[in-house]
Amino acid sequence: MEECKPVSQLNAANVRGLFFDIDDTFSTQGKITPETYQAAWKLYKAGKILVPLTGRPAGWCDHIARMWPVHAVIGENGAFYCMLKDGTMQKRYTEKDCSGEKRKKMADIKKEILKKVPGAGIASDQPWREFDLAVDYGEDVPRLSTIKIERIMDIFKSHGANVRISSIHVNGWFGEYDKLTAVRLYVKQELGMDLDKDNTDFVFIGDSPNDEPLFSFFKNSVGVANVRDYEAFLETGPAYITKARSGMGFVELADLILAAT
């Protein structure tokens, strides 16, 4: 991962919105602190577009879209986005095929991982997922070694699945999409904008390898300080980095955007 600039050097004067990862970017050690949640509310009240991007399941995203100060939520690493619109929950899919054949393949992958990677578990939020399989390597199980994480990834790949690492899970799915696919769809359909032309109207902030497509695409891409924990898995890192880790890194970026508003 190349050297990142301090986030203080980011020009936030024309930023219209913020896309942000949740686990270990917005949250801190599994909790959302008062400071971080208040920072989101300040951005929301200032008229900034707020859209979290997460590997978390559809069931969680429904709650987030209803209860948090956000305009939409992108879930399961880009399979869909959902939002409250005209008082009702609406969902737009980037991947509509969740066929029985794909589910069977996922079941086979699950069995193989649990057999061949001691200590790995299935994410506790798996029952609320529509498309992917989330393998827990550090949320509710003792954190696995890099070698075991790579073994999990190799098993997904051997079955032809796409795979991404978050700060707690290894996620695999069948389908040609990622977080950036869903961001493009949201910006086009809901904002009527061309993300290629309007790239610098937005900032993205994340922390882990499943954020790499966003780090690569956004000129104003930011990593919270703990992104350095995943340098071994990242070919392309963020353009900027915060001093603080996790949620306080989010606060650091929010304060910069608000000061420039």
* Residue 204: CB atoms within 10 Å: 28
| Domain that includes residue 21, residue range | 5-94+177-260
CATH code of residue 18: 3.40.50.1000
Regarding whether 140 and 27 lie in a shared domain, the answer is no
Chosen domain end from 108, 141, 173: 173
Q: Are the beta carbons of 213 and 195 closer than 8 angstroms?
A: no
Regarding whether 205 and 87 lie in a shared domain, the answer is yes
Average pLDDT score, the chain: 95
Residue 142: DSSP 8-state: P
What's the structural domain count of the chain? 2
- Report the pLDDT value the prediction gives residue 208, as an integer from 0 to 100: 92
198-215, pLDDT tens digit by residue? 999 999 999 999 999 999
Regarding whether 49 and 34 lie in a shared domain, the answer is yes
Chosen domain end from 138, 173, 208: 173
Regarding whether 36 and 164 lie in a shared domain, the answer is no
- Report the pLDDT value the prediction gives residue 95, as an integer from 0 to 100: 77
Structure tokens at 201: 């109207």
* Residue 52: CB atoms within 10 Å: 24
Q: Are the beta carbons of 159 and 165 closer than 8 angstroms?
A: no
Regarding whether 254 and 192 lie in a shared domain, the answer is yes
pTM: 0.92
Regarding whether 226 and 164 lie in a shared domain, the answer is no
Structure tokens at 208: 């882990």
Regarding whether 189 and 167 lie in a shared domain, the answer is no
Closest CA to 54 of 24, 91, 84: 24
Structure tokens at 5: 């600039």
Closest CA to 138 of 160, 123, 116, 153: 123
**Could you tell me the CA-to-CA distances from 57 to 13, 72, 77 in Å, in that order?**
34, 14, 9
CATH code of residue 137: 3.90.1070.10
Contacts of 158 (CB under 8 A, 6+ apart): none
SS3 (DSSP) at 121: strand
Beta bridge partners, 81, equal 74, 92
Has residue 90 got a pLDDT over 90? Answer: yes
Cα distance between residue 253 and residue 54, in whole Å: 19
Query: With bands split at pLDDT 50, 70 and 90, how would you rate the model's confidence at 176?
Result: confident
28-66, pLDDT tens digit by residue? 999 999 999 999 999 999 999 999 999 999 999 999 999
**Could you tell me the CA-to-CA distances from 186 to 52, 74, 76, 91, 179 in Å, in that order?**
12, 9, 15, 11, 11
Has residue 174 got a pLDDT over 70? Answer: yes
Chosen domain end from 146, 173, 200: 173
- Report the pLDDT value the prediction gives residue 261, as an integer from 0 to 100: 87
* Percent helix, percent strand, percent coil in the chain, to nearest 5: 40, 20, 40
Regarding whether 247 and 196 lie in a shared domain, the answer is yes
Has residue 129 got a pLDDT over 70? Answer: yes
- Report the pLDDT value the prediction gives residue 101, as an integer from 0 to 100: 83
Has residue 135 got a pLDDT over 80? Answer: yes
Residue 28: DSSP 8-state: B
Regarding whether 227 and 181 lie in a shared domain, the answer is yes
- Report the pLDDT value the prediction gives residue 98, as an integer from 0 to 100: 65
